[in-house]
């Protein structure tokens, strides 16, 4: 608890260009959650180097992502928006937690298996202990809740196991975090293969709508979106393309699928696609123009980066000192 509020932690990697799926599935919810929780939203650059990165590119993307958090509506005074690499406590706690994590546990992580298959020439130890660093992120701030997608649930599970194991030995050191799983509409699928999640790295240029896409491109991608031959706008499991379009529409407009289906009663797929495209354009345009405005205001963003790194460091150090004392490191002489 901080100032009577529960603590929330989440982070994103600055790899690839964010998609509409990242926005509707994560960022938009983060903004809502920030009303209720004391939030830490990190740009997790330590995690990014588990895959080889171009340094200049990583730095640029990380700054853009941090700016985008703010452009999407996260108040950087109320929320702690910061770079993971600016708080050394993440790496320090990760080391300690590494010593409380078993090889067997990490061997079971499906993301490690997937990523090592994909990057067979660079299966580094960081990739293997990635979930431990993630546990450190979360536990450092005594987080109560962590909004994550399904793909990260296993990492949250191991975080809880590590925290419980540590607490069982040393007493109540860590808050045990709970996953926060978003409501319907959170999972946005590819516009070309609606059985697949919309991805930053899809090779088909029409599959994903990017956060920074121009209105014309957005409209074109929706016009080409895969539907079916039913010619019936309904929300069900056998019309996945149409369902995905309705999910996008509903999430943008904060309405239910029933309401959307009613709205499109008697209309055709072309009308549906145009309506969804226009709605997405109207949701993304203000984020894009705010991003461009903020990007030019270097001094303002620098100020946010500095102030939030200090705030994050202050909270992180409290947990870190407690942990260091528990495991038997000598006290610092001041
Ligand atoms: N691994 C997460 C992802 O790729 C990002 C992340 C790092 C994260 N640390 C976290 C998410 C802590 C939630 C909490 O999506």
Where residue 183 falls among pLDDT bands split at 50, 70, 90? low
Q: Are 269 and 232 in contact (CB under 8 A)?
A: no
Residue 261 has pLDDT above 50, yes or no: yes
Q: How far is the centre of ligand 1, averaged over its atoms, from the C-alpha of 260 (Å)?
A: 32
Structure tokens at 125: 């130890």
Q: Is 197 among the catalytic positions?
A: yes
7-180+298-327 CATH fold: Rossmann fold (3.40.50)
Residue 183 annotated among the catalytic residues of the structure? no
Query: 332 CA to middle of ligand 1, Å?
Result: 31
Residue nearest to atom 13 of ligand 1 (CA): 10
The answer, yes or no, to whether residue 64 has pLDDT greater than 50, is yes
Q: How confident is the model at residue 221 (pLDDT cuts 50, 70, 90)?
A: very high
State the average pLDDT over residues 42-68: 97
**Exposure string over 189-214, b if 16+ CB within 10 A, otherwise e:** bbbbebeebbbeebeeebbbbbbebe
For residue 233, how far is its CA from the centre of ligand 1 (angstroms)?
A: 36
* Cα–Cα dist 153/200, whole Å: 20
Q: What is the pLDDT of residue 80?
A: 98
**Candidate from 125-139, 178-192, 312-326 with smallest mean pLDDT:** 178-192
Task: Taking residues 57-83, report their average pLDDT.
Answer: 97
Task: Decide: 19 in ligand 1 pocket, CB within 6 A.
Answer: no
Q: What is the mean pLDDT of the chain?
A: 95
Predicted TM-score (pTM) of this structure: 0.93
Using CA atoms, how far residue 322 sits from 27, 96, 142, 171, 175, in Å, is 32, 12, 12, 11, 13
Verify whether residue 200 is a known catalytic residue: yes
Residue 16: pLDDT over 90 = no
**Per-domain residue ranges for the chain?**
7-180+298-327, 215-292
Structure tokens at 147: 């909004």
For residues 297-324, give the mean pLDDT: 98
Please tell me the residue having the least CA distance from ligand 1 atom 8: 11
CATH architecture of 215-292: Orthogonal Bundle (1.10)
User: Does residue 184 have a pLDDT over 50?
Assistant: no
């Amino acid at each position: 608890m901080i100032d009577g509020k529960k603590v929330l932690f989440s982070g994103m990697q600055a790899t690839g260009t964010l998609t509409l799926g990242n926005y509707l599935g994560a960022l938009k919810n983060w903004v809502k959650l920030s009303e209720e929780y004391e939030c830490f939203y990190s740009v997790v650059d330590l995690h990014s180097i588990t895959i080889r990165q171009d340094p200049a590119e990583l730095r640029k993307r990380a700054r853009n992502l941090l700016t985008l958090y703010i452009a999407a509506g996260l108040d950087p005074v109320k929320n702690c928006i910061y770079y993971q690499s600016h708080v050394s406590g993440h790496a320090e706690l990760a080391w300690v937690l590494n010593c409380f994590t078993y090889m067997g546990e990490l061997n079971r992580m499906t993301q490690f298996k997937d990523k090592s298959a994909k990057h067979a020439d660079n299966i580094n130890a960081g990739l293997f202990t990635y979930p431990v660093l993630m546990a450190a992120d979360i536990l450092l701030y005594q987080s109560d809740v962590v909004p994550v997608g399904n793909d990260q649930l296993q990492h949250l599970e191991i975080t809880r196991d590590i925290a419980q194991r540590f607490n069982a030995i040393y007493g109540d050191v860590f808050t045990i975090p709970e996953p926060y799983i978003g409501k319907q509409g959170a999972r946005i699928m590819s516009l070309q293969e609606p059985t697949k999640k919309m991805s930053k790295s899809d090779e088909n240029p029409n599959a994903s709508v990017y956060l920074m896409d121009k209105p014309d491109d957005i409209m074109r991608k929706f016009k080409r979106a895969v539907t079916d031959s039913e010619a019936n706008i309904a929300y069900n499991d056998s019309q996945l393309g149409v369902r995905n379009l309705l999910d996008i529409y509903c999430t943008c407009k904060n309405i239910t699928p029933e309401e959307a289906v009613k709205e499109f009663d008697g209309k055709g797929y072309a009308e549906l696609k145009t309506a969804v495209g226009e709605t997405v354009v109207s949701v993304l345009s203000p984020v894009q123009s705010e991003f461009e405005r903020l990007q030019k205001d270097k001094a303002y963003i620098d100020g946010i980066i500095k102030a939030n790194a200090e705030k994050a460091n202050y909270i992180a150090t409290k947990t870190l000192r407690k942990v260091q004392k528990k495991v038997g490191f000598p006290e610092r002489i001041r």
